[in-house]
Amino acid sequence: MTRFAAPIAEQIWDMKYRLKNGDGSPIDATVEDSWDRIADALAAVEDDPAEWAPRFRAALDDFRFLPAGRITAGAGTDRSVTLFNCFVMGTIPDTMAGIFDSLKEAALTMQQGGGIGYDFSTIRPRGAVVKGVAADASGPLSFMDVWDAMCRTIMSAGSRRGAMMATMRCDHPDIEDFITAKSDAARLRMFNMSVLVTDPFMEAVKADHAWDLVWEGAVVRTVKARDLWDKIMQSTYDYAEPGVIFIDRINAMNNLNYCETIAATNPCGEQPLPPYGACLLGSINLARLVRDAFEKGAAIDEGELDELVATAVRMMDNVVDASRFPLEAQAQEARAKRRIGLGVTGLADALLMVGLRYGSEEAARQTERWLHAIARAAYRASVQLAKEKGAFPLFDADGYLASGAMQQMDEDVRAEIAEHGIRNALLTSVAPTGTISLYAGNVSSGIEPVFAYSYTRKVLQKDGSRTEEEVVDYAVQMYREKFGEDADLPEYFVNAQTLAPMDHVRMQAAAQKWVDSSISKTINVPEDISFDDFKDVYMEAWDTGCKGCTTYRPNDVTGSVLSVDEDKKSEDKPEVLADANAGDVIYMTEPLERPTELEGATYKLKWPDSEHAIYITINDIVHGGQRRPFEVFINSKNMEHFAWTVALTRMISAVFRRGGDVSFVVEELKAVFDPRGGAWMRGRYVPSILAAIGGVIEKHMVAIGFLAGEGMGLKSDPQAEAVNMTPKKACSSCGSYDMRMIEGCMTCAACGYSKCG
C-alpha cells in the first residue's frame, strides 16, 4: 500500500523532497520517513521534543498540513539551506558601492535557495546627474539587467531555479520604461515585475487628473494618471506583466505598520515584506478535511480544522528558530517579528466536494467562512504561544491593535492579544502551491480553481523508455471512485478554462478579508477579452479590497496557457494533453543521419576589444515533427581562436546529432567565466566569450521553437543579428508544449517544471 493518491505524487516526493545520499541512494525509505524527519527537526527546539514530535507527525499525516517545499526538503538534514521560502532584500542605496553590495547580498540569499524581492524605486532615474563624476545615471533598469544575469548564474550552479520580484513606485520617473521592459521577450526573464500603485494614484486615475513623476522631492515631469494606468494595462494585456500591487492598502492593513514600511514583495506576491523581511510558508489541505464528500451533509470538521491550524502555527513558529539564514540581518528581522504565512491549498476541490461552484457568490461566502475560521484559530494559537514562550520582541499592543487588519478581527481575539500579546506578528498568507499540491495527490492549487480535470504526463523511466499516465484532479478522482468512471460530472464542476474573470476576482476578494499578508492568485482571462473588459478586472480588484492583481492572457511573448484535446467528445470531462510529437526527449545510441541539405542561420558576434568578429552558423533538422539544432560551425579570422573554436564546433555538433534534450549545452556555456573578465555589451554583463556564444545558440533555439526562452542561458546576445522567426512556446525543462500560468508562474503540465521552483 502507498500513501500517495497518484503516481505523480510519489514522483514529486522522490525528485524534490526525499532525503538522499550524495550518490542518489535514498535515506528516506518512505514518505513516512520524511514526515518523521520533519516532525523531529521542528520538535527539537521545544523544551520537551518527545511530547511534540508525535503531534507534529500527526499533522503531517495524510498530507493534511503541507509545510512549504524548503521545509519539507530541508528540515532535519545537514544541508546549508534556509527553510524560509522568501525574502525581501534591504533597501538599495543610490550609490554604486551600495548597489553592488546589495547584489552580493542577493546572490548569497539565492545561493541558499531563497526567492527574493527588491524595490528598485530607490535608484535614481536614467539621465539624472551623478554628483562628483560628471556623468549621467544609467537608471534602475540597467541595474536590473545585472541582477537578472546574477540570478541566471546562481541558477546554473544550483538545483533550484532562481526567482525574483522587482517593484517600482508609480511616481518614479522611469516607471514607463519599467512597465514596458518585458515587451522584449529576451529581457529580465528571471524577474516577476509589479508596479507599486498608491491610493492617490488610483484616485487620480478615477478622476482623470494629472500625475507627477518625482525624484528627491522634485517633479521631473507630469503625465496623465489615466494614460499611465492604461500603459500598465496595455503591457499586462499584451505580455502578462507587470502586475499591480496596491501598496498603500498593504501598509495600512499591515499589523506592523507602527514599526515597518513595506515597498516590495516576494516573487509570487503573497508576502509583502519590509527590508530584510523573511517568511516561511505552509498550507492547510482543505481537500483532505472534507467529510461525506459529494453528499448532502458534506462539510469540513471545524474541530479538526482548529486543532490542525494550532499545531501548524506551532510548527511554523519553531522553524524561525530551527532555520539557517543567508544573512544575519534576515535572522534578526525574522526573530524580531516571527512572521509566518499559513495558507490553504485544495480550496477549489473542497468547494466541489461540498457541492459549490467555484466563483459563485455562495462559494465566495463559504471561502470567507473557512478563511475566517483559519485566521481565528491561528491568532488564538499564537496568543497561547505568547503566554507560554513570550510575544514577538517588537510587539506593541496599541500599535498592533490599531492596524487595519486588526480593526476587523473578532473582539474576543483582540481582547486576548491585548492581555497576553501574540507570538507571531502576521500569520496568514496564500502561497502558490503548485508542487506541494501535486505531492498531496494533485489537489487544486492554493485558492485557484481546478485548472483541468485531467491531463497526460510523459514520464521518463530509468531504462530510457517513456510512459504516459493520466493525472487526474483529486476531487474528480474521488467523484469517479464514488459514482463510477462513466458518471457525468455535475454542472457545478467548473475549471479555469470556463471561469469568468470576475469570478476569479470575487474569490480573491473573499479570501483576502481574512488573510493578513496577501494572496498569490492568477486571474486567467481569454485571449479574445476586450481591452476595456480587461481593465475592468483590475478596477474590480481595487474596488473589492484586494491587495494586488495578476492576470494571464495568452500572448505572443509567453505563449498560450494550455491546449485542450478537441477529440474528446464529453464536454464535462475535457482532457488536457501535451502535443504528442512536441518536446519528446529522444535518447539514442547512434547519431541522427545528416540530410544532404539543411536549413540554418549565421550570426555575427563582435566581442569587445577583439579585432575580428566570430561567425556562428547553426543548421537544423526536423525530427519527430520538431525542428531542432543539428550542427554548429564557429569561425573567426583571429587565429588565436582557431583551436578552441574547432574543438567547440566538433563537440557541440556531436552532442546535437545524438538528439534528446540538448538545452544543457546553453546551460554549460553560459556558466563559463573568464578570469580575465567578461564584457559589458549594451548594458548587460556577459562573463566570457563562450557565454556569449551560448547566448547566440540559445537565441537560435528559441527562434526555431526548441526552447521557450524563459530562464535558460544568456537569453540573447545584444550584438548578434537576429533571425525573423516566430517561436513556439515549449517547456525549458522537458520541451513539451504544455505550459500553463498558475499563481504567477509558468508551469509545465508534462514534467512539473515551474520557473518559480
Q: Which residues are catalytic?
A: 266, 268, 270
Q: Count CA atoms within 13 Å of residue 420 on its CB side.
A: 20
d(CA 745, CA 755): 6
Q: Where are the beta strands (DSSP E) in 182-235?
A: 191-197, 210-215, 218-224
d(CA 381, CA 751): 38
Residue 472 C-alpha cell reads as 487526474
For helices 411-420 and 361-389, the axis angle rounded to 10 degrees is 20
Helix (H) or strand (E) holding 106: helix 96-111
> Alpha helix locations (H) across 390-441?
397-401, 404-407, 411-420, 434-439
Residue type, 534: F
d(CA 547, CA 505): 11
Longest dimension (CA), the chain: 84
For helices 328-337 and 302-322, the axis angle rounded to 10 degrees is 140
Cell 517513456, residue located: 466
Q: How many CB atoms lie within 10 A of CB 317?
A: 23
d(CA 733, CA 748): 9
Helix (H) or strand (E) holding 443: none
d(CA 167, CA 95): 19
* Contacts with 288 (C-beta within 8 Å, 6 or more apart), sequence order: 62, 63, 64, 346, 440, 443
Q: How many CB atoms lie within 10 A of CB 159?
A: 9
Between CA 651 and CA 661, with CA 657 as vertex, the angle to 5 degrees is 95
Cell 544575519, residue located: 328
Q: 218 — phi, psi (to 5°)?
A: -105, 140
CB 747 within 8 A of CB 271: no
Q: How far is CA 505 from the centre of its chain?
A: 20
* Torsion of Cα atoms, 724 then 726 then 728 then 732, to 10°: 40
CB 210 within 8 A of CB 204: yes
Residue type, 291: R
d(CA 95, CA 123): 8
Q: How many CB atoms lie within 10 A of CB 41?
A: 22
Helix (H) or strand (E) holding 63: none
For helices 302-322 and 31-43, the axis angle rounded to 10 degrees is 70
Residue 291 C-alpha cell reads as 467529510
Q: How many CB atoms lie within 10 A of CB 629?
A: 24
Residue type, 410: D
Q: Where are the beta strands (DSSP E) in 526-598?
A: 548-549, 551-552, 575-576
Return the closest-CA partner of residue 457 out of 581, 582, 578.
578
Pairing of strands 115-119, 164-169: parallel
